[in-house]
Amino acid sequence: MVETLNKPQPIKQQNTVVRDDAFYDQIEQEFEAIKQRHRAKMGAEDVAYIKGLRLKSRIFEVLGRGLLWTSRNPLTFGAGVGFLFLHRNIEAIEIGHNVLHGQYDYFPEIPQFHSHNFKWKAPIDEEGWRREHNAMHHVHTNVYEKDPDLNHGLLRTNDLVPWQKSHLWQVPLYFGVVYPTMLYRFNAQNLGFTQEYRAEAFDTGNQGYAVVDTSYASKEQREKMHSRSVNRVLFKEYLVFPLLAKLTGRSALKVLAGNFLADTINNYWIGMTIQATHFTEDLQDEAAVDHKGRWYLSQLESSVNFKGNRWQSILWGHLNYQIEHHLFP
């Protein structure tokens, strides 16, 4: 059985219609026209949006931390967790993710939201994220052994990935361990530590999984990048604020528990959001990147949209518009 599962299966082709370069040229021209039309509309409204969102995020943080410090019953404690989740979520997915795509690099008046100036309020190294997410996932979307988001660590999502015994337990493993710490896992994957683990733990190593190029930094440098990005969150959430609560006569344990719950809920939320929008029926051909028009079509076929109201869209980082995001990240 294992031999059968380990035997690579042919990639299903999403489209069997033969299309020539002229067809893809036309597709490219039409999508480029859409992009330029919308880019020309970018302006003061976009600047006001991101600044207003940062203000709301800060208000949610003050409310959340204040309620956790002063709560005397489950209702106010739960409200504190909820507001803190809103802050952590908005900073991670609606602000951080989009800013690191360079969406606000066009506006000189907000340098704090330029991709190479931005400091993420999430346990993820910015440089590692840009290299893995922007340069790999958004280029080779749903391409076997090229797209790291097909697996998010150890996940087996298609029959080309060699089967391991651990895959029998991947559903409880992900719901019980991976999703509650999803952002931390992203960081380990981005910086190459997940693939190093697979190379040792799996008898087939990294076969079937995308491998991140880590030649830009030594292992020691990557370990420092990982520690710096993770510890800035752990230090703040699990040391500074509980200690401040203790010093002001409040319950450090209650603040610690509230911060942990907000962190865990945020990780679950982001994990579910991302994976709900990426797993389409078929894999993409590696040659999809050979022509911009063909690449545009591959993005359409590799992404899934779903509906929500304005605030749901914000908390999903507008990834419910995943098709548009992948066409114009």
**Average pLDDT rounded to a whole number, residues 270-295:** 83
- Residue with more model confidence, 276 or 74: 74
* pLDDT, averaged across the chain: 90
| Tokens describing residue 6 | 């380990």
Residue whose C-alpha is closest to residue 102's, from 94, 114, 112: 114
Q: Which residue has the higher pLDDT, 12 or 152?
A: 152
Given pLDDT bands bounded at 50, 70 and 90, which one contains residue 281?
low
- In angstroms, the CA 65 to CA 254 distance is 11
pLDDT digits (tens, 9 = 90+) for 213-254: 999 999 999 999 999 999 999 999 999 999 999 999 999 999
**Domain annotation covers residue 272:** yes
CA–CA gap between residue 66 and residue 87 (Å, rounded): 13
Q: Name the percent of the chain lying above pLDDT 90.
A: 75
Domain total in the chain:
1
For 199-215, the pLDDT digits (tens) are 999 999 999 999 999 99
Query: Can you give the residue range of the structural domain that contains 262?
Result: 23-327
For the stretch 61-81, pLDDT in tens is 999 999 999 999 999 999 999
Closest to 129 measured CA to CA, from 156, 102, 155, 151: 102
Q: pLDDT for 99-154, tens place per residue? A: 999 999 999 999 999 999 999 999 999 999 999 999 999 999 889 899 998 888 88
Residue 15 lies in a domain: no
Tell me, yes or no, whether 261 lies in a domain.
Answer: yes
**Percent of the chain whose pLDDT exceeds 70:** 94
Q: How far apart are the first and last CA of the chain?
A: 41
**284, β-bridge pairs:** 143
Name the 3-class secondary structure at 210.
coil
1 lies in a domain? no
Q: Is residue 303's pLDDT more than 90? A: no
Give a yes or no: residue 14 inside a domain.
no
Residue pLDDT, tens place only, 149-184: 888 888 888 889 999 998 999 999 999 999 999 999
Q: Does the residue 287 lie in any domain?
A: yes
pTM equals: 0.89
The answer to whether residue 13 sits within a structural domain is no
CA–CA dist 265, 273 (Å, integer):
12
The answer to whether residue 10 is domain-embedded is no
pLDDT at residue 9 in the model = 44
Q: Angle 234-236-237 (CA atoms, 0-180°, nearest 5)?
A: 65
| Single-letter residue type at 173 | L
Report the C-alpha gap between 123 and 263 in whole angstroms. Answer: 11
Give yes or no for a contact between 64 and 83, defined as CB atoms under 8 angstroms apart. Answer: yes
- Residue 87, pLDDT > 60, answer yes
